[in-house]
Structures are given as C-alpha cells and as structure tokens.
Amino acid sequence: MAHAVEQLEQTHRALIVAVQAGDWEQVGELDVLCRDLVGRAMQNPERDEQALAEALTSLSDTYREVIGLCQAVQGKLAEELHGIQRSKESAKVYQMFS
C-alpha cells in the first residue's frame, strides 16, 4: 500500500506544480489520475489507513485551494467579458450617431 500512497503523493505534488504554472490542461489530466489512484488505494484491502488518510486530507486541502483559485479566475473573466460587451454596445451607439 505504501506504493499506492506514494504514487498519490507524487501526483498530488505534480498537481500543485501544474496549478502554480497555470497549466489547466495538465491539471485536468492529473485530476483524472488522482481520482484513479484514490479509487485504487481505497479498494486495496491491505491499505495503510493512516497514511492514506493523511494523503487524502492533504489532497482535499489542495482541491479546496484550486476551487477557490478557479472561482477567482472565473470572476475575473466574467468581468472582462462584461467590459467587452459594454464596449461593443458603446461602439454600436457611436456608429448610429456618426
């Protein structure tokens, strides 16, 4: 089981690096891998409950931070989109009176 937890921890570290780099494609791939590794670790009858619990707690904390970051980026993008829409509307009004 130590191997499964070790793989999960390595993938977790890679996930953190990808998030910090803003490599969202890599984040998606690592997310799928993390879920697979968690599933395999949970199904192993010889798992080290303590080590797995620690790895899952740490992973959960990271996901909470990633979700917060994604929400912040989403809000910023929504503001930018709203600004672009206002600019387009202003340009249309300007063209009507030119």
Q: What is the pLDDT of residues 24-80, one digit of tens each?
A: 999 999 999 999 999 999 998 888 899 999 999 999 999 999 999 889 989 999 999
Number of domains in the chain: 1
The whole-number pLDDT of residue 12 equals 95
The whole-number pLDDT of residue 94 equals 75
The per-residue DSSP string of 9-63 comes to HHHHHHHHHHHHHT-HHHHHHHHHHHHHHHHHHHH-TT--HHHHHHHHHHHHHHH
Domain holding 18, by residue range, is 2-96
The pTM for the full model equals: 0.74
Query: Between the CA atoms of 74, 76, 82 and 83, what dihedral angle is there, to the nearest 10 degrees?
Result: -160
Task: Supply the CATH number for residue 63's domain.
Answer: 1.20.58
Tell the burial category of 14 from Cβ atoms under 10 Å away from its Cβ (0-12, 13-18, 19+). middle
